[in-house]
Structure 1
């Protein structure tokens, strides 16, 4: 249970910032439950979240009570922005440290294996610096342990490292599955937009950050056709970069079934969270959308092929693996969705 905030005059808990190393929305989703636990041990039950703008932290968690403020660590902008981040390179790291120094944090919690984030904390003159300590140099720059050993198993390592770190620090005693809180106003907007789709509805996450994660338009079109043919609604959901792909998928579906399918590539991240909470299932590429869907409790299947698996939410998020991504067949995925 969250701790009861103490009056400011007697709250001796440290003013805390947490820093997320990774730059994807799914990466933030994996860490949120542990950030909440850090907040319980911090001044006012809140923390400042330092994260890349690419994780859309304000839309994903900015409304939650444990978030005091969100500080952009603008190091790796998205490719289509065509610019260099203000915190890129050695000078950018120094600039980040100076910006944090002005806030006078008592403690920073670094969810990272990267030594350069420890340099930022040192430059910010934050007295208590906690981090993974998976290298000797990082340990030298942190204020104290306990340290962890970097994960080297069959799953994606980011969540596993965060879990070991949180347990070592005493913020939890077992892994915590990710969860997100839906914004009520976003939920109302999404309900209005989806009211024409038949029930139940299934989300297909068609976007991908890398080509090797992309299942393909033909596969998604076949999957959408199978689900719509059963009388169910289909939501094709992605970002603006996938607008043409979404339209190409729709064109591959026979005209009589298209009213049962809606493509949304212009919604906000907050609206994506809300939409996923209304779905019967979510199926898609390894992208932020499937992590969001699982975090709001929607049964989710992610097409991986032969890659490290996702173990952070075994009850809700399921891995579809094969020797090659192309070996995962739309008919098999459709049977899973319709039987759920």
Structure 2
């Protein structure tokens, strides 16, 4: 089974459908093929339905400044040769551009290849099966397409809200690490995969100060690349409240998921962290700006949209949190 999309949030949207495919597969397991950037081993590698995670290293992040092992048509053929010894019975492609994956399948000797079939050419190359028309509405398409495909193929009967199971070892570590913080906890997702998604340091400082002033604890959550930003934000928090704010940018993805299961809310950029939060049942307040809405979990994903990302203030986020969390946010601690 292969996921074309490259983001961690993309994997979260698909994971429950992958589980459904596994339930109809040999031994109740599947091998998941995904880009290393999805962090699939950290997010779902512990699941009993995952036989293994296989990296399809075609498009590394620009910051890595390297060519992917499976880039180009030569890399695709190499990937197919790597798959051949595994003797897979079928490939399930969650992809709207399956051309390279189909070539890899043929090189690997996989002859049952299920996919969307959205175009005439796809229907000539894929194994005949129920086709779908890709979603072309105003919302983000990835989850909508995965849902339609899974229902059409009989993997499930209705849409499934994305969920993640927390790794027990990571949960134990994060429970211990967060124990010293007093009061309700909130995470701020300060990372951003692309510059236009970045809400900005000033806004995160303002929101951290507002939450800390209520007596709540604040986690500044991101990857190693956000380490300097997290320290800068913390340094600008009012001195009397600074002990309520901690930076957590050096932890693993599995530990980030665990931490998000322990907080009352997660607010910030449209990035993997807010998707993790919603997937473990934590309210996620996504500073989205003018971009297409996310519709996969209206109970836990709360969108803040405006003509420009810069039009959204920390006060706007705080007000939305008050409306959703009510007394859980308005109360203060000593």
Instruction: Provide TM-score, normalisation by structure 2.
Output: 0.95
2:163 is equivalent to residue 179 of structure 1: yes
**1:207 aligned residue (191, 195, 205):** 191
Contact in 2 for aligned 1:320/1:328 (Cα 8 Å)? yes
Alignment-derived partner of residue 295 in structure 1? 279
Alignment-derived partner of residue 241 in structure 1? 225
Displacement after TM superposition at 1:103 (Å): 0.7
Displacement after TM superposition at 1:337 (Å): 2.8
Matches of 2:90 and 2:299, distance apart in 1: 34
2:180 is equivalent to residue 190 of structure 1: no
Contact in 2 for aligned 1:122/1:141 (Cα 8 Å)? no
Displacement after TM superposition at 1:338 (Å): 4.4
Gaps of 5+ in 1: 1-17
Matches of 1:52 and 1:249, distance apart in 2: 31
2:251 is equivalent to residue 267 of structure 1: yes
**1:105 aligned residue (80, 88, 97):** 88
Alignment-derived partner of residue 66 in structure 2? 83
Q: Does the C-alpha gap of structure 1 residues 165 and 117 become closer, same or farther in structure 2, counting only changes over 3 Å? A: same
In the comparison of the two structures, how many residue pairs are matched? 323
**1:61 aligned residue (36, 40, 44):** 44
Displacement after TM superposition at 1:77 (Å): 1.3
Alignment-derived partner of residue 140 in structure 2? 156
Alignment-derived partner of residue 257 in structure 1? 241
Matches of 1:118 and 1:255, distance apart in 2: 58
Greater displacement, 72-81 / 158-167: 72-81
Contact in 2 for aligned 1:202/1:282 (Cα 8 Å)? yes
Matches of 2:203 and 2:170, distance apart in 1: 30
Could you list the per-position Cα deviations for residues 270-293 of structure 1 after superposition, in whole angstroms to 9, with x for gaps in the alignment?
A: 100100000101111000000000
Secondary structure, counterpart of 1:304 in structure 2: strand
Contact in 2 for aligned 1:26/1:291 (Cα 8 Å)? yes
Alignment-derived partner of residue 330 in structure 2? none
Root-mean-square deviation over aligned CA pairs: 1.0
